[in-house]
């Protein structure tokens, strides 16, 4: 691809590794889980405990929510960030949270370990430039109408401002299919791996929008070689103020985690090792 100077995988094959606490994104298999939105202190802290107990490695939750309708729940703002800080204090899980306004970038950095740029803001260039100057890693979601090339150009914006720590996130795109909320484009995982040195995680919660499909698509993402997953978990999904149909409850999350870790272990041990040693899979 043309003019992708910074995100492109070079001949040396050196891949980006991002160290956050004890976890290295791009090396360890990372599950980032939490509610769509920070709705209250109780809901958030309970969900964080459930994520920790279920084996999640990072905690996500939106304090600033970009919503389709201006009348929908817009998030708790700064108060939400303080609740996330408390969740981190209680569980030790690093925090991933979305920033939607360039004026908030420095403030969100004070509370978050990873800044998330949501699908709706993927091509918000002033926001990309601002997070490009930040000293925190950025999780860049794919826009719902964006091609791979457009997506990578947005990552290029962030790197060009001097922030090398970008994680891409496939979260599904709009197609003519209406059964699912979006069409989860898992072919992006190996495509990103062959074109760029950046880690990629997959968000099957938005990618399908259907609780019944999340488990299988999560496993498929691991099989495709994703560096991690972004999962929506809510301590009580039916009471959620947003994305009520696609948030796992704590039991579903814990059960899925077990399967994900098993599959990941199997792939690491049996498939990648065997490709080096000559193969014992036959």
Partner 1 sequence: MKLKDIRQNIDLIDSKILKLLNDRMEQGLLANKLKDKIEDLQREKEVLEAVRNNANTLTESKFSEELFKTILRFSKELQTKDLIITGFQGEHGAYSEEAVRSYNKNYVTIPCTTFNEVFEGVNSGIYDYGIVPVENTLGGMVGPVNELLINTELNIVGAIDMPIHHCLLMVPGTDHRDIREVYSHSQALAQCRRFLSRNKLTPVPYFDTAGAANMLAEKQPRGAACIAGKLAAELYNLEILKENIEDLNSNRTRFLLLSRHKPEEDGSKCTITFSTEHKAGTLFSVLELFASSGINLTRIESIPNEPGDYSFFLDFDGSIKDPKVIETLEKAEKQTSGFKVLGCYNEKIIEG
Of 28 and 41, the one with the shorter C-beta distance to partner 1 is 41
* The binder of partner 1 chosen from 4, 55, 107, 261 (CB under 8 A): 107
For the CB of residue 104, give the shortest distance to partner 1 in the complex, in Å: 7
Of 22 and 110, the one with the shorter C-beta distance to partner 1 is 110
| Positions in 163-192 near partner 1 (CB under 8 A) | none
Which residues in 68-130 belong to E strands, given as ranges?
95-98, 114-117
For the CB of residue 3, give the shortest distance to partner 1 in the complex, in Å: 32
Of 110 and 177, the one with the shorter C-beta distance to partner 1 is 110
Rounded distance, CA 77 to CA 108, Å?
10
Question: What is the DSSP pairing of strand 200-202 with strand 95-98?
Answer: unpaired
**How big is the site for partner 1, counted in residues (CB under 8 A)?**
12
| Positions in 113-142 near partner 1 (CB under 8 A) | 135
Of 32 and 108, the one with the shorter C-beta distance to partner 1 is 108
14 binds partner 1 (CB under 8 A): no
104 binds partner 1 (CB under 8 A): yes
Rounded distance, CA 78 to CA 105, Å?
12
Output the six-digit token pair for 61.
């939750």
161 binds partner 1 (CB under 8 A): no
Rounded distance, CA 72 to CA 36, Å?
13
78 binds partner 1 (CB under 8 A): yes
* The binder of partner 1 chosen from 111, 120, 123, 160 (CB under 8 A): 111
CB 64 within 8 A of CB 99: yes
DSSP state of 21: T
Which residues in 22-130 belong to E strands, given as ranges?
23-25, 30-34, 58-60, 95-98, 114-117
CB 152 within 8 A of CB 195: yes
- Residues lying near partner 1 in the complex (CB under 8 A) are found at 78, 82, 85, 101, 103-104, 106-107, 109-111, 135
């Amino acid at each position: 691809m043309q003019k992708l100077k910074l995100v492109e995988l070079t001949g040396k094959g050196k891949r980006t590794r991002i160290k956050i606490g004890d976890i290295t994104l791009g090396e360890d298999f990372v599950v980032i889980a939490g509610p769509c939105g920070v709705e209250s202190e109780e809901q958030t802290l309970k969900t964080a405990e459930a994520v920790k107990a279920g084996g999640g490695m990072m905690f996500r939750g939106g304090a600033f929510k970009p919503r389709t309708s201006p009348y929908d729940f817009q998030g708790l703002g700064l108060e939400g960030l303080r609740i996330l800080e408390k969740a981190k204090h209680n569980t030790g899980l690093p925090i991933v949270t979305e920033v939607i306004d360039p004026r908030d970038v420095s403030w969100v950095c004070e509370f978050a370990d990873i800044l998330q740029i949501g699908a709706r803001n993927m091509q918000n260039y002033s926001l990309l430039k601002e997070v490009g100057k930040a000293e925190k890693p950025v999780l860049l979601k794919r826009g719902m109408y964006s091609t791979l090339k457009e997506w990578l150009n947005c990552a290029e914006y962030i790197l060009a401002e001097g922030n090398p720590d970008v994680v891409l996130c496939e979260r599904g795109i709009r197609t003519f299919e209406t059964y699912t909320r979006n069409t989860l484009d898992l072919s992006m995982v190996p495509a990103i791996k062959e074109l760029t040195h950046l880690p990629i995680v997959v968000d099957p919660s938005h990618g399908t929008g259907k609780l019944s499909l999340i488990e299988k698509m999560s496993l498929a993402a691991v099989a495709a070689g994703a560096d991690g997953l972004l999962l929506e978990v809510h301590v009580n999904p039916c009471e959620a103020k947003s994305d009520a149909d696609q948030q796992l409850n704590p039991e579903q999350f814990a059960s899925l985690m077990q399967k994900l870790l098993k599959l990941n272990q199997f792939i690491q041990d049996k498939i990648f090792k065997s490709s080096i040693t000559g193969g014992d899979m036959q």
